Amino acid sequence: MIRGYGRQAVQAAEGPALSAGRPLMRWAAGGVAAAVRGELDGLGVPRSKARVLVLVGGGNNGGDGLFAAGLLAERGVVVSALLVREQVHADGLAFARRHGVRILVHAPDGAPALREEDSAGEAHSPIPDGVAWVREASLAQVWVDAMAGIGVRGGLRGASAAVVGVLDRLRQGQVRPARRVIAVDTPSGLSADGGVVSGPVLRADRTVTMGAMKAGLLLPPAAGLAGRVEVLELGLEPEFAAQAALVERLEAADVARLWPVPGPGDHKYTRGVLGVVAGSGTYPGAAVLTVGAALRTGCGMVRYLSKDGAVADRVLDHYPETVTTPGRVQALVLGPGLSDERDQDRVRERLAEVDELADAAGTPPPALVYDAGALSVLPQDPQVNRRRRAVLTPHAGELAELLSARGTPVDRARVEADPARWVRIAVEVTGATVLLKGAVTLIAGPSQAFDGGKGIRTGEVGLLSQADGSPWLATAGSGDVLAGILGALLATSEAPVPLLAAMAALVHGRAAHWANPGGPVTPSDFVRALPGTLAQVLTLR
Ligand SMILES: NC(=O)C1=CN([C@@H]2O[C@H](COP(=O)(O)OP(=O)(O)OC[C@H]3O[C@@H](n4cnc5c(N)ncnc54)[C@H](O)[C@@H]3O)[C@@H](O)[C@H]2O)[C@@H](O)CC1
Ligand SMILES: [K+]
């Protein structure tokens, strides 16, 4: 489980360590310098030709950058530090100077002039705007962004913002992409607390974050600017364990631990039966994908309940193990491949039938996945949805539509600008668990949905963020597969619904990768890859 912390928690965790005199900044700088050396090696740059530009802000983030600059220069790398503030970390600056880092000073906010220090760091010779540091930037194979970390307030302004603008233009104009950007702690300008991007940010290839993962690095859209994120723990694990996280992310080992693996005493009914109401004359393939995904995720039985004979025949052609007679189910997937009003009537009818069967047997009504065409038939009463373990699987556009139809007007762009906020609002408005699909999938659930669950002490935060799939996953039919995986999990496990949704997202993303690592995949490919993916994940149990 990866836990993402906000600024307050980081400060609370670091405070005692700093008071105890632990040299956190030196360790942090050591990690940054190692990451820079790793990137230079990856680019095949010999140490004698290596050039690095470090962007230095006025706080401790800049301090990390200055110490890292000194450590690199000590090893023979040509390092320039561009100070975007007049006052920077004094010890860091002294250290950098001592090791021969070239110091360039950006003038105060807004002013165009730049100056360069002489080797003693005393006399400053004015130099024309854009000459020294832009030349250095274009020569450097690695840029290190240490302008601001968790101490940033609002979007980048002044010299920092201007520097990002220049570097972005420089990067765009270059044919040769052989350069890496490493962000220190966070890409400067991003908040540790959330995923909103409120100003210019230098997109990083890699972020070395200090002490623990920051919530903002797990949340879109900010997460998309951080590149590969690695945590430098700095021995602060016990301190962070005592802090509250803002968001969580399941890893494969968590999924393995939580997965409903059948025991010797199980039979098809104890394992769980899933009903599927999906597919139509217009989109028959959705039924095949949803049923296939559910079967290959593993449940006792899948009942295909849509009463469209032609679609049912197609499903049976692909999966003869599908049962097409009505009967009791523990979970129901509603909506993939359904679109018009007639389809929605069908959803209501099938749901009523299934509920009647459960009622007659005195068993709880099935848990529900509302996907695509079924989102519009979700009951208005949040209590109803909460009670019956309902989960919605919209993308941003569908979420905006759903909220707008329920008296909370919002459009797709606003959802995409702050999905963590809107997914929580959607939980409040609907009472359901909401899985918001995207490059990063966010899951939020009503607090009750996290309760109990066989002593599972994960998922307490109420917000989960999964980034398991590659952009190749964004293809028609991908959501039908996710709905099938999730349905199978809901039918077979009583774990808290948000955890099941996060598990489904992880397995979905991994199966797509497993089907064809690094290349294009079709949903049919990743349905086929599901059993192998799961077997691999379960080795971590
Ligand atoms: N607390 C600690 O001892 C440790 C902190 N570390 C580093 O210290 C950082 C936190 O340091 P600080 O609290 O000093 O804060 P930061 O250095 O993250 O941010 C403060 C700096 O950003 C500038 N700034 C703030 N908002 C801005 C805006 N909108 N536009 C432009 N500039 C802006 C400030 O003027 C100041 O120069 C962490 O992110 C991490 O990199 C590490 O050295 C590990 C140990
Ligand atoms: K930074």
18 alpha carbon to ligand 1 midpoint, in Å? 15
List the chain domain ranges.
2-247, 252-538
**88 in ligand 1 pocket by Cβ < 6 Å?**
no
Among the residues of 99-248, which ranges form H helices? 132-139, 158-172, 237-241
* Gap from CA of 44 to ligand 1 centroid (Å): 32
Architecture, CATH, for domain 252-538: 3-Layer(aba) Sandwich (3.40)
Q: HSE-up of 393 (CA within 13 Å, CB side)?
A: 27
pLDDT at 307: 86
Per-residue pLDDT of the chain (541 residues; tens, 9 = 90+): 999 999 999 999 999 999 999 999 999 999 999 999 999 999 999 989 999 999 999 999 999 999 999 999 999 999 999 999 989 999 999 999 999 999 998 865 444 445 555 555 544 444 444 457 888 898 999 999 999 999 999 999 989 999 999 899 888 877 656 799 999 999 999 999 999 999 999 999 999 999 999 999 999 999 999 999 999 999 999 999 999 999 999 999 999 999 999 999 999 888 999 999 999 999 999 999 999 999 999 999 999 998 889 999 999 999 999 999 999 999 999 999 998 889 999 999 999 999 999 999 999 999 999 999 999 999 999 999 999 899 999 999 999 999 999 999 999 999 999 999 999 999 999 999 999 999 999 999 987 555 443 333 444 568 999 999 888 888 999 999 999 999 999 999 999 999 999 999 999 999 999 999 999 999 999 999 999 999 999 999 9
Can you count the helices (H) and strands (E) in the chain? 19, 19
> ω before 221 within 30° of 0 (cis)?
yes
Do 2-247 and 252-538 show the same overall fold? Answer: no
Indicate if ligand 1 lies below 6 Å from the C-beta of 260: no
What token pair was written down for 180? 């890496």
Query: Among 71, 152, 207, 234, which residue has the most ligand 1 atoms within 8 Å of its CB, making it the best to mutate?
Result: 152
Q: Is the ipTM of this complex over 0.95?
A: yes
Place of tokens 């990856």: 42
Query: Is residue 395 part of an annotated ligand binding site?
Result: yes
Closest ligand relative to 61 C-alpha: 1
Helix (H, G, I), strand (E, B) or coil at 143: strand
- Could you tell me the CA-to-CA distances from 45 to 93, 145, 162, 207 in Å, in that order? 26, 20, 29, 20
Between CA 215 and CA 117, with CA 160 as vertex, the angle to 5 degrees is: 130
- Please give the helix or strand (H or E) that residue 537 lies within, else none: helix 523-538
C-beta neighbour count of 214 within 10 angstroms: 32
- The CATH number of 2-247, from 3.40.50.10260, 3.40.640.10, 3.60.90.10, 3.90.1150.10, is 3.40.50.10260
